[in-house]
Structure 1
Amino acid sequence: MQQFSGKSVCKGMAYGPVTVLRSPKQHIRHDKIWDVKAELERVNSAVECARKELQSLYERASQEIGISGGEIFQVHRMILEDEEYLKAVRHTIQTEMVNAEYAVEFTSERYGDMFFRMKDDYMRARAMDIKDVSDRLLRVLNGREDTRRSLDEPAIIVADDLSPSETMGFCREKVLAFVTVRGSTNSHTAILARLMNIPALVGVPVDLGEIQDGIRAFVDGFEGMVTFEPDEDVYRKANERMEDEQEKLCLFQKLKGKESITPGGKRILICANIGSVRDVERALENDAEGIGLFRSEFLYLGRKDFPTEEEQFQAYRQAAQQMAGKEVIIRTLDMGADKQAEYFGLGREENPAMGFRAIRICLKQPEILKTQLRALLRAAVYGNISVIYPMIISVEEVKRIFEIAQEVREELESKRIPYRYPRQGVMIETPAAVMVSDELARLVDFFSIGTNDLTQYTLAVDRQNEKLCDFYDPHHKAIMRMIRIVTEHAHKYGKKVGICGELGADTSLTEEFVRMGIDELSVVPSMVLKLRKIVRELKDD
């Protein structure tokens, strides 16, 4: 029996046979070529084929696990279509007179190394994405098909590391758990594991050479442990715990249709975070009491131009109608940072997480916001829609937003287009917003605390940098105090406050949030009933 600890990416437990993923390095020929034009054509054809594959991956990931998973492959497509990247590949072919495979590999290593050496942690994290995209291009050039990895039976996947493409390459129903030697809790692969709701551990110091395919293992995503070839006692205890978890899942189903209310009468709304209209169905299946965060970026990604007002209106209207009177909080576009679309013309930035993104784009280019607001106000006629604005840092920003919203109202009225003015809220995800939350509370109808960015900006820690995992502490006293401050300021002016970041689903904090006075928790759909059970069993003072 061997037991190892790691960092839990997705909680849950699994027991079954192990499949060790050993990805052989692709053999790259280094040939001298004479027909440069033909080799450039090979590159163009491979890029087009890879683009179609990534679009297919985007669509499959969006359908199977939600738009947040699909967005990862939109990032890959943008890398594939990046002019600097392709220019470097073509330049190598033309000047070195070498084959396309060697040019892609050479460019991949050069770009990957360049990104990895950058001081900005976000840009360093893109090195893995560049490798994933380049490996895809090499596979196409070598004439190998993109197929899903087949497993004869459900298995626990053990690997040195997994790329997003490899993770999505498995049939979801056949994967019991993921265990990797490397990786971070906030990598793209970790995000996919959470969205797929598959128990996963990273940073497990296991020697892959000592692990054989077919041996049995127990993965405990709650404790962050993996046990290979567990003895009889460990197996018995593991089996008991898994049976207990299965019973809990059955109990959760009995909570459908019931309110999320403490024994003492404190009501907490437990809502769902979604990334597209297709995700509404998953929210309803899990009996969410509303949509606490609808990420509207899905309408802007994976296309060559801005979505029209009509396209946006139809999407928002459909979500509102499907929720049948339950509140749908739609966040205005949060583009920038890791969500890029070439037609926005944002360009490269030294520090994109703190750069030209979200509401800053909308205030600099108000027509983008006006188009979205027109669609939102029109759609609000068909359901209970509220609007929330991201990355706020000042009262002045909110006042300017309201001026733009008023211009939209007057425009719709002048054209006699039916509309309803929805509740207006702001995201609290910067320390600046926390410090002026008393002033913001006088202006807006509600707050939603985005704990992911709030933690990152408060601690000055890039949550996607695996080297900083030990420093990224979402339970930090400063974060808890900030949440308390925001809640007190909101309630002082009779406004409600919710949490829509990952902390909202942290069951170790649910009781504390309830005692703070948090009015709403918005989480991934699969967590709704689990939180409802906890809330209904809390002991009131």
Structure 2
Amino acid sequence: MYTFTGVSASPGIVMGPVEQIDHGTAGLHRIVCDPFRERALYDVAVVLAKDELRRLSQRAKGPDADILLFQIALLEDESFTNEIGDYIAAGAGGAAAVERAEQIFAGRLNNVDDEYIRERSVDVCDVCRRVVDILDGRPRRRLHLKRPSILVADRFFPSDLFSLDRRMILGLASNQDSTVSHAAIMARSMGIPAVVQLGDGVAALAAGHLAILDASVGDTGTFIVQPSGTHMAEADCKIAQSRLHGRTPDPVAALLCLTKDGTAFRLLTATNATSDPEEPLTQGAAGIGLLRTESVLLDDLPEETQFSTLREKLQNSDGAMVAVRTCDTNADDNSPWTAEMAKRLHGHRLFFPQIKALLRAAPYGDLRVLFPMIAGVEDWESCMREVEVCRTQLRNAGVEMQSPPFGCIVDMPSAALLAGELIDHGVQMLAIDIEDLTRYTMGLVQDSDAAVNRVDNPAVQRLVKEVVEQARARGVEVYLCGITVASITRIPVYLHLGIRAFSVEPAALLPLKKLLMAEDLRKE
């Protein structure tokens, strides 16, 4: 029996056989042809890879589809293609050139400040490995599950999971992935247990054996390979209890959001622009507190597509608030598409098609618009000038529109300290991204896991208190967003600092609600 301890990324407990996803070693038995032939082979491999990704994207939804569209966009990126072409022209083989580009571009993403963009380094590795496998003649579907199994890997690539029947996946165990990796996010969306950061060699050791994956208690998860009879009996009991619980709706979802002393609070959910627009608000959420729109930047979606998606999202929200976080290239420094995006923006801060789509969609529901990366009044006024340009263009074209409330994401200390000035210059609501604010305040821009564990740091609390006081004095709504499963135990302190609304990823809604309902503000 071998017991390994890691970090719980998605709650639950399962027991079953283990199947390993092994990305293998590429580069064996390669023969390098002349540069013209190598470039032709590379071009053909890219066409095949894009076709495979498009077929996968047709079956994917929400963030899953977003990941695949990003991979297609990378293969079409001019700087990425030029990097590979130059190396092939210098005499390298197509596969080696792709592997070199993978190291360069994944490395750049790993150094980007924005956490969401930084996590996409695994997508670069994923799509590059797909092209390399085509060039090397290796199969892209490496695993066919014949029975429900626990999947293990050194690190999961998104396509590892897209190509599998998810009904056959009992759980995920990873040597390296973090709680904010795509594998962890997908596990939570799929409702399957996951334990990450188990350490080197665990996946290979567990392959082919029976194992228990237990992420049912707290932040720590365990992975027991070749368990004893006693451990198996205990796991059977826990699994039976969880299944019984799963058949009965959690009664907490229907309860009023009230603390022990009767103080009311609101829970909002967080989602992605490409998620199913017909999906109802889950588990009693009062609205969408953070609708991410990176797909606008990554996929260059036309205005009409954005408008249709937003309108449908608003119409299906039954009057509930939908707060959209706009795109901002200031958060994407060193990304492979930054230069092209900057050129396309012509010096502007906002994407005009997105703003015009938001103005057009506003009449269809309770839409709010939030600008990220606002360091101060100058940034805010720059955004509002560009909004006015969009208004004028729509007005001149005779297009129906409406101005929704505009606000900003408080993700930097300067925005927190200047919250009063921002409100005085027209900010109508503030959403404090607690994880980003912690990263920028504590110097943890490159370490999201450490930031999650310090979101209740006294310095961060002081900044949040400053925002709450300035907003309250001016009658402006303020709420907390950027809350994940990993950080919920540290969030109740902000209830005591005056926060009354919280935007949470779906998997954390009920756990946070239970914690907040147990608080008693009379003890202050």
For the aligned pair, the TM-score class normalised by the smaller chain equals 0.7 to 0.9
Q: Which residue of 2 aligns with 1:47?
A: 46
The alpha-carbon deviation at position 208 of structure 1 amounts to 4.6
Q: Following superposition of structure 1 onto structure 2, how do residues 374-385 of structure 1 map, counting pairs within 5 Å?
A: 374-385=356-367
How big is each residue's C-alpha offset from its partner over 1:440-499, in whole Å with a ceiling of 9 and x where there is no partner?
A: 24432221111232222222224468xx85997334332333223322322222222212
Aligned AA (2:81): L
The alpha-carbon deviation at position 376 of structure 1 amounts to 2.0
Question: Does the CA contact (< 8 Å) of 1:252 and 1:533 recur in 2?
Answer: no
Aligned AA (2:418): V
Q: Which residue of 1 aligns with 2:150?
A: 156
Question: Structure 1, unaligned stretches of length 5 or more?
Answer: 348-355
Q: Which residue of 2 aligns with 1:122?
A: 112
Report the CA distance shift for 1:224/1:488 in structure 2 as closer, same or farther (over 3 A): farther
Q: Which residue of 1 aligns with 2:468?
A: 487
The alpha-carbon deviation at position 199 of structure 1 amounts to 2.4
Residue of 271, 275, 281 corresponding to 1:274 = 271
Question: Does the CA contact (< 8 Å) of 1:78 and 1:341 recur in 2?
Answer: no
Q: Which residue of 2 aligns with 1:293?
A: 290
Q: Distance in 1 between matches of 2:112 and 2:89?
A: 32
Question: Does the CA contact (< 8 Å) of 1:274 and 1:293 recur in 2?
Answer: yes
Residue of 487, 496, 500 corresponding to 2:477 = 496
Residue of 355, 364, 376 corresponding to 1:394 = 376
The alpha-carbon deviation at position 326 of structure 1 amounts to 0.9
* Counterpart secondary structure, 2:489: coil
Question: Does the CA contact (< 8 Å) of 1:85 and 1:107 recur in 2?
Answer: no
Q: Following superposition of structure 1 onto structure 2, how do residues 521-532 of structure 1 map, counting pairs within 5 Å?
A: 521-532=502-513
| Stretch of structure 1 that moved more, 526-535 or 484-493 | 526-535
| Stretch of structure 1 that moved more, 469-478 or 335-344 | 335-344
Question: Does the CA contact (< 8 Å) of 2:13 and 2:215 recur in 1?
Answer: yes
Q: Which residue of 2 aligns with 1:350?
A: none
Count of matched residue positions in the alignment of Structure 1 and Structure 2 = 513
Q: Indicate yes or no: 2:315 matched with 1:321.
A: yes
Q: Following superposition of structure 1 onto structure 2, how do residues 57-456 of structure 1 map, counting pairs within 5 Å?
A: 57-61=56-60, 63=61, 66-67=62-63, 69-96=64-91, 103-114=93-104, 121-122=111-112, 128-147=122-141, 149-205=143-199, 206-208=201-203, 210-220=205-215, 222=218, 223-246=220-243, 249=246, 252-256=249-253, 258-276=255-273, 278-303=275-300, 307-308=302-303, 310-335=304-329, 337=331, 342=337, 345-346=340-341, 364-365=347-348, 368-406=350-388, 408-409=390-391, 417-442=399-424, 443-456=426-439
| Stretch of structure 1 that moved more, 432-441 or 197-206 | 197-206
Question: Does the CA contact (< 8 Å) of 2:280 and 2:316 recur in 1?
Answer: no
How big is each residue's C-alpha offset from its partner over 1:55-76, in whole Å with a ceiling of 9 and x where there is no partner?
A: 3344444x1xx23x43333443
CA RMSD of aligned residues (A): 3.6
The alpha-carbon deviation at position 250 of structure 1 amounts to 5.0
Q: Indicate yes or no: 2:28 matched with 1:28.
A: yes
TM-score by length of 1: 0.82
* Counterpart secondary structure, 2:214: strand
Question: Structure 2, unaligned stretches of length 5 or more?
Answer: none
Question: Does the CA contact (< 8 Å) of 1:456 and 1:472 recur in 2?
Answer: no
Report the CA distance shift for 1:252/1:523 in structure 2 as closer, same or farther (over 3 A): farther
Q: Distance in 2 between matches of 1:513 and 1:104?
A: 53
Question: Does the CA contact (< 8 Å) of 2:468 and 2:498 recur in 1?
Answer: yes
Q: Distance in 2 between matches of 1:491 and 1:202?
A: 41
How big is each residue's C-alpha offset from its partner over 1:383-408, in whole Å with a ceiling of 9 and x where there is no partner?
A: 11111111111022223433444455
Q: Distance in 1 between matches of 2:78 and 2:129?
A: 18
Q: Distance in 2 between matches of 1:144 and 1:216?
A: 30
Question: Does the CA contact (< 8 Å) of 2:26 and 2:136 recur in 1?
Answer: no
Q: Distance in 2 between matches of 1:266 and 1:461?
A: 34
Q: Which residue of 1 aligns with 2:55?
A: 56
Question: Does the CA contact (< 8 Å) of 1:329 and 1:387 recur in 2?
Answer: yes
How big is each residue's C-alpha offset from its partner over 1:31-59, in whole Å with a ceiling of 9 and x where there is no partner?
A: 2536x544432221111111222333444
Question: Does the CA contact (< 8 Å) of 1:148 and 1:170 recur in 2?
Answer: no
The alpha-carbon deviation at position 430 of structure 1 amounts to 0.7
Q: Distance in 1 between matches of 2:447 and 2:174?
A: 16
* Counterpart secondary structure, 1:345: helix
User: What percentage of aligned pairs have identical amino acids?
Assistant: 27
Report the CA distance shift for 1:410/1:153 in structure 2 as closer, same or farther (over 3 A): same
Q: Distance in 1 between matches of 2:137 and 2:71?
A: 20
Q: Distance in 1 between matches of 2:79 and 2:158?
A: 23
* Counterpart secondary structure, 1:28: coil
How big is each residue's C-alpha offset from its partner over 1:134-188, in whole Å with a ceiling of 9 and x where there is no partner?
A: 3211222344554373212221112222223224333222222221222333444
Question: Does the CA contact (< 8 Å) of 2:409 and 2:430 recur in 1?
Answer: yes
Aligned AA (1:290): G
Q: Distance in 2 between matches of 1:411 and 1:23?
A: 51
The alpha-carbon deviation at position 428 of structure 1 amounts to 0.4
Residue of 453, 457, 465 corresponding to 1:476 = 457
The alpha-carbon deviation at position 104 of structure 1 amounts to 3.2
Report the CA distance shift for 1:79/1:29 in structure 2 as closer, same or farther (over 3 A): farther
Q: Distance in 2 between matches of 1:532 and 1:251?
A: 18
Question: Does the CA contact (< 8 Å) of 1:178 and 1:199 recur in 2?
Answer: yes
Q: Indicate yes or no: 2:500 matched with 1:506.
A: no
Aligned AA (1:70): A
Q: Which residue of 2 aligns with 1:352?
A: none
Report the CA distance shift for 1:324/1:125 in structure 2 as closer, same or farther (over 3 A): closer
Report the CA distance shift for 1:334/1:282 in structure 2 as closer, same or farther (over 3 A): farther
Q: Distance in 2 between matches of 1:333 and 1:116?
A: 21
Q: Distance in 2 between matches of 1:398 and 1:233?
A: 61
The alpha-carbon deviation at position 432 of structure 1 amounts to 0.9
| Stretch of structure 1 that moved more, 124-133 or 324-333 | 124-133
Report the CA distance shift for 1:471/1:280 in structure 2 as closer, same or farther (over 3 A): closer
Question: Does the CA contact (< 8 Å) of 1:111 and 1:130 recur in 2?
Answer: no
Q: Which residue of 2 aligns with 1:19?
A: 19
